[in-house]
Structure 1
Amino acid sequence: MFRPRLLLTSLAIALGACSPQDPQATTSAALAQQVILPAYGRWVDADRALASSALAFCQGKEDLAKARADFVAAQKAWAELQPLLIGPLAEGNRAWQIQFYPDKKNLVARQVEQLLNDNPQIDPAGLAKSSVVVQGLTAYEYILFDAKIDLADAATKARYCPLLEAIGAHQQALAEDILTRWKADNGTLAQMSKFPNARYADAHEAIAEMLRVQVTGLDLLKKKLGTPLGRQSKGIPQPFQAENWRSDTSLASLESSLNGAEALWKGTDGKGLRGLLPSEQKELAGKIDAAYAEVHGKFAALKQPLGDLLKDDAGIKQLNDLYDSLNTVHRLHETDLAKALGVQLGFNANDGD
């Protein structure tokens, strides 16, 4: 007489084993493995190329144009990663070692010159003990692109090359260490793939952190455009407050960061934040898709560097239109998407900047 109960129990266990996994757990693991980890991998590859490029340039095996192109590639890889700063790169002020921005008082130029005056043959070990201001891509950009530095002059090149090589080596070592930590047993990849763990009590916490980091990255995008536009200085443009103003790659960096944020939204094979929206939120999904498309269209319409666009009213209008489009993407994520996913965003890391 106990057989029916036994049969029902066995059936329940079987159904439980076959039931679909928590969609948030599936999405978290997919985004970690298919979106975030590959972006970290591209960053490591770009920094390895940067370190090799510094050596080749300083040994006369590579010209300045190639060295500059390798810097731009490394900067774009880093920019793509900024809306994906989950795990060790978001801790211990490591991001400051990669890029010192904003540089409101031209500290990079002043500290680079002071460092080379004090330590002309700086090496990676010495650089690791120095200020973050001189350790990263902003200092690298200063050496390669500043108008006052003539690297065609042999003596000038000899002065700056030790630091250029040290920065390249420092960036490679930092990137490789972060990737190793990500992939380690119980590292960030594992923590975002199986729950519960020491970092997340459940998958919803992981999804919430991804959305927070993405929203913070989108907000930072607005600030990186709004500051040179003069939105914090009574409408007076501040071109030297732009990211990457020396290399004229400000807009390329901004779009790379947008791509990083959009990758979290879309995911791979539909396993992104978008895929977590219930069917009744189809209209919101369409709005966010359209908002991203609009921003990309506005980027594509910009035919001049940011510094040139800031010189006339027509360019400033284009940039303000771009800002408004970025603001739409940011607000849709910060308010509508967060509410739909049941995420309390709380403190923004950019607050007070």
Structure 2
Amino acid sequence: MFRPKLLFTSLAALALGACSPQDPQAVTSAAIAKQVILPTYSRWVEADRQLAVSALAFCEGKNTLETARADFLHAQKAWAELQPLLIGPLAEGNRAWQVQFWPDKKNLVGRQVEQLINSDKPIDAGTLANSSVVVQGLSAYEYILFDSKPDTANAEQKARYCPLLVAIGARQKALAEEILQGWNKNDGVLAQMTKFPNQRYADSHEAIADVLRAQVTALDTLKKKLGTPMGRMSKGIPQPLQAEAWRSQSSLKSLHASLSAAQTVWAGVDNQGLRSLLGSDQKALADKIDAAYAVSLKLLADAPKPLNELLEDEAGREQLNAIYDSLNAVHRLHETDLAKALGIQLGFNANDGD
């Protein structure tokens, strides 16, 4: 029997369901994945494609050493921006070390590059993929272009190191494209951060927790990347050669790029970052995190000299201490206050035990 009242009730329920507010954590997870993480990965791929072209052009004599170094710094910045976004395949299987080997406490980069160059083995992207991670990535590329030992301004030296330089460029391009493809495939991380449940996340809260864990680990790593050369792990004795990208003197610029990316995850595009998940009653915390980012980013941007030069005198070390303290403030706010406000149990991070 046709029952119009029952039909009307059913249609009304469907309409109400369609108009009900979406899960805010699902909206935020999708927004961060689509508007922040994916574009950053795409810029990284483009930078590595340019790096591969640049290596060939330099080695064929079509580009200057200055241009080759500039292309490296562009790729280094693109990689630094990924640090707070290591979710999915790039966070697995030691792939991050294939991009950059740090910390390098025993100058393994210099030693292993020299061993490979002197081995008389043919070097290409394929053989490099089966070699030590130490010689596969940006740290080895930087060594070739910036260290005084290779001296690639010398034609004979350049010819010796160029096969490895070209192989690293090709290897980084292939790795970046593989990671981006993994993100974009039908059941890739982009899909997993957008629709729930899935094989990676039971619900949107797990995805948001993963984003925050990546943030906290990255912020902790930034402190280590600054604190290690400052001597905070060596009884106050500066260790400038333990800095990330010390040969190219781009350590502080890399820290700034990483922190800027973390701030974008926090603020989001169109205010759809982690910040949007805090209620009006948590405005004080949101403002506190905003201010902490602003202070730290300004201190890094205003650093008057490269890291190694700031380590040379008391005034410079005071500036570095101020930067370190500001990074620590951002890190602690995420690790404790924000995690608690979002109801997230962080557990151990990738740096625990270092």
Q: What interval of TM-score do these two structures reach, taking the shorter chain for normalisation?
A: over 0.9
Question: How big is the shift at 1:10?
Answer: 3.1
Letter in 2 for 1:352: G
Contact 1:39 1:81 in 2 (8 A): yes
**Where does residue 172 of structure 2 map in the other structure?**
171
Residue identity opposite 2:139 in structure 1: T
**Post-superposition CA distance 1:133-190 (Å, at most 9, x none):** 0000000000000022221211100000000000000000000000011000100000
CA contact (8 A) 2:113 2:135 kept: yes
- Give 2:78's aligned amino acid: A
Q: For residues 298-343 of structure 1, give each alpha carbon's deviation from its aligned partner in whole angstroms, at most 9, with x where no partner exists.
A: 1122110000000000000000000000000000010010011111
Preserved contact between residue 196 and residue 203 of structure 2 (Cα < 8 Å):
yes
- Equivalent pair of 1:102/1:243 in contact (CA under 8 Å): yes
1:341 aligned residue: 342
| Coordinate RMSD, CA, aligned | 1.2
For 2:193 and 2:153, the matched residues in 1 are separated by 48
Between the aligned partners of 2:151 and 2:164, the Cα distance in structure 1 is 15
1:120, distance to aligned residue in structure 2 (A) = 5.0
Match of 1:234 in 2: 235
Greater mean alpha carbon deviation, residues 2-11 or residues 16-25: 2-11
Aligned to 1:18: 19
Q: What is the distance in 1 between the residues matched to 2:190 and 2:321?
A: 38
Partner of 1:67: 68
Residue deviations 1:89-140, cap 9 Å, x none? 1111111100000000000100001011113541111111110000000000
Aligned twin of 1:263: 264
Q: Check conservation: 1:120, 1:162, Cα contact below 8 A.
A: no
**d(CA) in 1 for partners of 2:116 and 2:298?**
43
**Deviation readout 1:212-271 (Å, 9 max, x if unpaired):** 001100000000000001111111111000000000000001111101111110111111
**3-state secondary structure, aligned to 1:144:** helix
Whether 1:317 and 2:321 are equivalent positions in the alignment is no
Mapped to 1, the partners of 2:94 and 2:275 lie a distance apart of 31
State whether residues 83 and 261 of structure 1, in contact with CA within 8 Å, keep that contact through their aligned partners in structure 2: yes
Other-structure match for 2:97: 96
Residue 250 of structure 1: aligned partner = 251
Q: Give the deviation of 1:290 after TM superposition.
A: 0.4
2:198 aligned partner: 197
Instruction: Tell me the distance in 2 between the aligned counterparts of 1:333 and 1:172.
Output: 33
The question of whether the paired residues in 1 share the 8 Å contact of 2:146 and 2:247 is answered with: yes
The residue that corresponds to 1:42 in the other structure is 43
Can you list the C-alpha shifts for 1:55-80, whole angstroms capped at 9, x where unaligned?
00000000000000000010110010
Question: SS of the counterpart of 2:269?
Answer: coil
TM-score, normalised by the number of residues in structure 1: 0.98
Gaps of 5+ in 2: none
Identity level (%):
70
2-side partners of 1:49 and 1:210: how far apart?
29
Amino acid of the structure 2 residue aligned with 1:31: I
Once residues 291 and 207 of structure 1 are traced to their aligned partners in structure 2, the CA distance between those partners, rounded to angstroms, is 21
**TM-score normalised to the size of structure 2?**
0.98
| Residue 81 of structure 2 corresponds to residue 76 of structure 1 | no
In the TM superposition, what is the alpha-carbon distance from 1:8 to its structure 2 partner? Answer: 3.8
Distance 1:4 1:215 in 2: 54
List 4+ stretches of structure 1 deviating above 4 A.
1-6
TM-superposed CA distance for 1:4, in Å, is 5.2
Cα pair 1:146 1:246 within 8 Å, conserved: yes
Which residue is 1:148 aligned to? Answer: 149
Alpha-carbon distance between aligned partners in 2 of 1:128 and 1:233, rounded to the nearest angstrom: 34
Q: Distance in 2 between matches of 1:8 and 1:339?
A: 41
Partner amino acid for 2:54? S
Q: Distance in 1 between matches of 2:149 and 2:6?
A: 85
Counterpart amino acid of 2:56? L
User: Secondary structure of the equivalent of 1:326?
Assistant: helix
Give the whole-Å Cα distance in 1 for the aligned partners of 2:287 and 2:153: 52
Query: What amino acid sits opposite 2:87 in the alignment?
Result: I
- Cα distance in 1 between the residues matched to 2:27 and 2:166: 42
Partners of 1:300 and 1:120 lie apart in 2 by: 43
* 8 A contact 1:120–1:159 mirrored in 2: no
